Amino acid sequence: YVWFEAVIGYLSASIEWAANNAARNNGAPDAWKAWWFDPAARTYYFIGKDNIPFHTVFWPGQLLGSGKLYAGPDDEGLNLPYDVPANEFMNLEGRKISGSRNWAVWGHTYLQDYDPDPLRYYLTAVMPETRDSDWSWSDYLRRNNDELVATWGNLVNRIVAFTTKHFDGAVPQPGELNEVDRALLARIDGGFESVGSLINACKFKAALAEAMALAREVNKYVDDTAPWFSIKTDRARTATTLYVALHAIDSLKVLFAPFLPFTCQQLHTMLGYDGNLFGRQIINEYHEATRSHRALTFDRDSLTERWQPGRLPPGQKFGAVAPLFKKLDEKIVEIERGKLGQ
């Protein structure tokens, strides 16, 4: 039975990797044990719903049944799956996705016409976490224009552009924060707990929705404080308002980063930071006995941010200012639907 044997590959591939690494790169042949015996090492199995039995019944049973065959230094058994986030199915325009029938959205052709972050955003927003979902080009258009462009992108654009115009393209020096200012920043800072907890629970759809809800709260704060009016009569108060909004945007940049990495990096640079938001990415080549392969890794020591509230200092100069997202024309819906099944 193929799936009875297939899941064993999770363990056997780890053991093989350690052996190959030891033979060729002076690694430790028992390095695999760090992942399979350390109780702090949590394994997540991201699968489709048709593979649930093999990962929640077969595989745990095999691990438990291994007995003394694989035992840790304290005679402990192999780590069991920590979580098995199983998704339902995603359809396309009400029909089952089919590559052979060209009823699909192809990544390489998508990227010829659109940016990657709206794709990541939409796939997360309609993720079939608990029930089947549907990719709809009209809904994709709506979410891009109403949520990415009009809510999050517009917040960034109007605050950074307004600050650039009236405060020489730098973060203003704030005065004393009032109760409304402090309440907003506390709410945004709390997002690191609320969004982070949802991500840890593999509830990515809800995590993204929570981040967008926080962006709406910042928009409301800006609308209520109306810096475009206060700049005419109270420059000091306007500086404080913009500082608070920019601090919130800096935090939202981190909260959105797992879902919108490209535009969050753009925003990171726009706010005047150096370096890569996610650390330096490296493609390494690994040599095995019969083949070689390349893998994308990253240098975690080069990270310029952590999962924590923004640290944007007064006086920091902005980088190049440009919109994060593009508004899409309604005609793309019929154009993209017309490609299906051809």
What is the secondary structure of 277-299 as a DSSP string? TT-EEEEEEEE-SS-EEEEEEEE
**Euclidean distance between CA atoms 173 and 240, whole angstroms:** 7
Whether the pLDDT of residue 100 is over 70: the answer is: yes
Q: Facing residues of 48 across strands?
A: 87
**Average pLDDT in the 231-238 region?**
98
**Euclidean distance between CA atoms 232 and 46, whole angstroms:** 54
Could you report the per-residue pLDDT of 163-175, keeping only the tens digit for each? 999 999 999 999 9
From residue 137, alpha-carbon distances to 134, 187, 208, 260 in Å are 10, 33, 20, 19
Is 251 within 8 Å of 184 (Cβ atoms)? no
The pLDDT score that the predictor gives to residue 287 is 75
Average pLDDT over all residues of the chain: 94
C-alpha torsion angle, residues 80, 9, 283, 40 (rounded to 10): 10
2-87 against 135-331: fold identical: no
Whether the pLDDT of residue 23 is over 80: the answer is: no
Is 44 within 8 Å of 85 (Cβ atoms)? yes
**Average pLDDT in the 101-114 region?**
96
The pLDDT score that the predictor gives to residue 17 is 85
Question: What's the start-to-end Cα distance of the chain, in Å?
Answer: 37
Is 161 within 8 Å of 338 (Cβ atoms)? no
Is 90 within 8 Å of 139 (Cβ atoms)? no
**Average pLDDT in the 114-129 region?**
98
The pLDDT score that the predictor gives to residue 108 is 93
Nearest-CA neighbor of 204 among 83, 326, 59?
83
CATH numeric code, 2-87: 3.40.50.620
- What lies within 8 Å, CB to CB, of 34 at 6+ separation is 41
Give the pairing type, strands 133-135 and 90-92.
parallel
- What lies within 8 Å, CB to CB, of 176 at 6+ separation is 240
**Average pLDDT in the 290-305 region?**
81
Q: What is the DSSP letter of 312?
A: P
Taking the whole predicted model, whether its pTM rises above 0.85 is answered as yes
The pLDDT score that the predictor gives to residue 84 is 97
Could you report the per-residue pLDDT of 123-169, keeping only the tens digit for each? 999 999 999 999 999 999 999 999 999 999 999 999 999 999 999 99
Nearest-CA neighbor of 268 among 305, 299, 239, 219?
305
**Average pLDDT in the 85-113 region?**
96
Question: Comparing 315 with 301, which gets the higher pLDDT?
Answer: 315
The pLDDT score that the predictor gives to residue 155 is 98
The pLDDT score that the predictor gives to residue 74 is 76
**Euclidean distance between CA atoms 320 and 106, whole angstroms:** 32
**Euclidean distance between CA atoms 45 and 50, whole angstroms:** 13
**Euclidean distance between CA atoms 243 and 247, whole angstroms:** 6
From residue 87, alpha-carbon distances to 83, 121, 130 in Å are 13, 17, 7
Question: Comparing 29 with 27, which gets the higher pLDDT?
Answer: 29
Domain chopping of the chain, boundaries: 2-87, 135-331
3-state helix, strand, coil in the chain (%, to 5): 55, 10, 35
**Euclidean distance between CA atoms 123 and 118, whole angstroms:** 8
Is 209 within 8 Å of 145 (Cβ atoms)? no
In the block, which residue shows the tokens 């299906």?
340
Whether the pLDDT of residue 1 is over 70: the answer is: no
Please give the CATH topology (third level) of the domain spanning 135-331. Answer: Isoleucyl-tRNA Synthetase; Domain 1 (1.10.730)
The pLDDT score that the predictor gives to residue 326 is 98
DSSP output for 211-223: HHHHHHHHHHHHH
